[in-house]
Structure 1
Amino acid sequence: MRSTTSSYIVELPLRVNDQQNRFLEKAFEFGRMLYNATLGTALGRLQRMRETKEWREARDMPKGRARTKAFTAVHNAFGLNEFGLVTIANDHRKASGRNDIGSHEAQSIGKTVWRALKRYMFQQGGKPRFKSFKRGLNSIEGTDNHEIMYKPEQKAIVWRRNGIKYMKPDTDYMKEALASDRRVKYCRIVRRTLNGKKRWFVQLVVEGVPPVRKVYAPKCEVVGIDPGPSRIAYFHEHHAAIVEVAPNVDLQESKIRLLQRRIDRSKRANNPDNFNPDGTVIKGSLKWITSNRGRKLLAKLAEHHRRLAATRKRDHGKLVNDLLQIGGTIKIEKNSYRSYQRNFGRSTNRTGMGEFVAHLKR
């Protein structure tokens, strides 16, 4: 079981050879299939549950403890809870007869499905989608340090008897963050696409608080901030300024527009039968053909947006650290950042004001 103590994440790149890459690809593909099977079973149970008399009676009850208790009883009867989804995922893994991932990873996949299904059940999000072969899973994690194991003496991650070396920077921060007295709760394998190529990383979830990089101000120091579409104004007893939230983000809109036009021309040249004479797309299910050049263009566009997001995140972190070094208590008015997107689309797209405020609160 995972403990509920505080923790932080240390991410390290993995040095993967061809054999290990095939193993990881196979494991992630099986994880995707397991996710889809678990989600399909859960959605089927949800549909059958909503057709029962007990669920309709609970729905028509006035809000209160009795209604919540009735809903909980119906959910438990159909196994629509975290334990039920974990059991479903593990049962699918056993029925498959495959040994690509273990029971701990299957349990984590079941918990991921449950979080998506819970948002849908309680009208906090849309209907969860199945993972396509093209997109796949982005990460697989264990529940403790016994399946995907961190082995510092080997300088490797061991998963299903495969020892995968990691690259650890030789810095003071990293030495303190992964000291011998720090306990690694569990590990997470992450797959990312960088410049059109797959890269593998391991995220170590370490118990405790991370080493201090910045000295934050005490809580008695109060800072008030007023966010706008692209800048914030902050005020402290000894500091006041108006600063850009993401000064290093350059959208390069002309470059994006040219790339999108090249992608559109490639799509039309390879799929002439999917368009009407006036240039609009034919309605209905269509089969699309993508050329190698078209795939390279799509990868180039995705890499451009990935770099923008990484730059934006770095600028947000720097500004958050600067503000917390001035004041330990941040006061901010309640704003609708969805409204910012509607009214200041270009500025909000560049700066990500809602994401910055979420980072600051976290």
Structure 2
Amino acid sequence: MFPEKKKYNATWILVAAVLLIEIFKLFPAAVEYLYTNGFYKYYSQLLRKAFGWFPFSIGDLLYTIAIIVALYKSIKAVIKIIRARFSWQVTKNSLLAGLRILLAVYLLFNISWAINYARKGSAHQLEIYVDDYSVNDLQTLASVLNKKTTEAVAEIQAKDSTVWYHFPALANACRESYIEVNKKYPFINYRVLSVKPMIYGKAGAFGGFAGYYNPFTGEAQINNGMPGNSRSQVLCHEMAHQLGYAAEEEANMIGWLAGRESKNPAIKYSAYNDMLVYTIMDLRRKDTLAFKTFRDSLPGLVKKHYQQNKDYYAAYTNSMQAHLDAAYDTFLKANGQEKGKKSYRFVIAWLIAYGKKYGWEAL
């Protein structure tokens, strides 16, 4: 009886711990001060020190092992229930064991990173008020970003873009971008590099993933098979996640701030190009005529890279993506991102708020 009682007690302890975490997340100021700039700041650096020196993705291997073990345990539990002829006691114990595992993983996920979803975040740090925006705001942003991207294109020399295609050089260039942005924004303070190419890059492409942050190992990872022009900005985005910017639009904003400060024109171009594409695509949804005008005025390099990205992902389009997209959309919404996958492009609202506060030329 005693071991059974211990299992029940463990279940209730895990439930109580999860509830305490959820209550704590109701207080953004406390999360920002005690967790993001307290515990998480040092814990994440510890993870990066522990796993960053490995030349391959420990996170990918960890997920592989976890999936294999989960399948094995699930099959074993089902067989046990069938052999017991669906005994309520055996079924209940199996379900409770599964619940304890899920609660433990959820608890670790939150402690390791996900509490950051509840922080005050970049809008608070940048002192901007993020709100809905008009079509006129969108047109203004598109015009400014088009100009900035065109200027970046003019600066690019042949040797600059080689950084996209050699991962060690790319990692160092993105780290240097964060060193530069820290001079302007001290709160963006990146320490201890831990960035990796995904082991299962092609599998990620089939799932529509360009990169991801592993909260259990602290690694920022990208699909190194994607078109080169996207790689630096995706990596800057994932590095922003490492700093505790959990929301996708905020990671986009911080990644852009870092990328635009790069001394390498190709990295700078990638940052502006990424934001320009988000803006133009949003304009297409809201003002077709204005979209066509801006589309025709885009630099040739932007059009070329847009087509490259479109062709790349079209080659991996499959029937499973809709289900994976729906699952990821649900995951984001469950973590407080009401817009789900649309959160990525909601960075537009951050850019517009930034432009209104500091002047459009400050973008």
Structure 1 length normalisation: TM-score?
0.26
Structure 2 length normalisation: TM-score?
0.26
Larger helix proportion, structure 1 or 2? 2
